[in-house]
């Protein structure tokens, strides 16, 4: 694909419990985030990350479980890929799962 300008990347990782509790799923997601940043220096990312349904109860805590990590740790990993989390909005999937719709902008 090469370098492109003003693009948006949309990722919808699998949300089944086994799909995101292993390091493999996290590595694939973070690899995609890093690749997107290299391809488009002024782009945006929108993704839906599986999370604990506690996200629906109020302000999102850095302790909320997102893809098997604390949200604070996940934001740090996203930042290491060159992105800044601009917003995170919880969406109910079913009784035991919600997803965070996460919008990221370049960190610089």
Query: Model confidence over 59-78: pLDDT tens digits?
Result: 999 999 998 899 999 999 99
Distance (Å, rounded) from C-alpha 23 to C-alpha 19? 10
Query: Model confidence over 76-85: pLDDT tens digits?
Result: 999 999 999 9
How much is the pTM?
0.88
Question: Which of 23-27, 33-37, 61-65, 103-107 comes out lowest in average pLDDT?
Answer: 23-27
Kindly state the average pLDDT of the residues 24-37. Answer: 90
pLDDT at 27 over 80: yes
Kindly state the average pLDDT of the residues 15-42. Answer: 80
């Amino acid at each position: 694909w090469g370098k492109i300008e003003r693009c948006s990347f949309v990722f919808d990782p699998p949300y089944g419990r086994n799909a995101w509790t292993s390091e493999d799923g996290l590595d694939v997601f973070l690899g995609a985030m890093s690749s997107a940043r290299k391809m488009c220096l002024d782009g945006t990312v929108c993704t839906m990350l599986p999370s604990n349904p506690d996200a629906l109860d109020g302000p999102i805590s850095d302790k909320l479980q997102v893809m098997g990590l604390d949200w604070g740790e996940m934001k740090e990993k996203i930042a290491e890929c060159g992105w800044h989390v601009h917003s995170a909005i919880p969406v109910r999937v079913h009784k035991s799962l919600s997803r965070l719709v996460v919008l990221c902008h370049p960190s610089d």
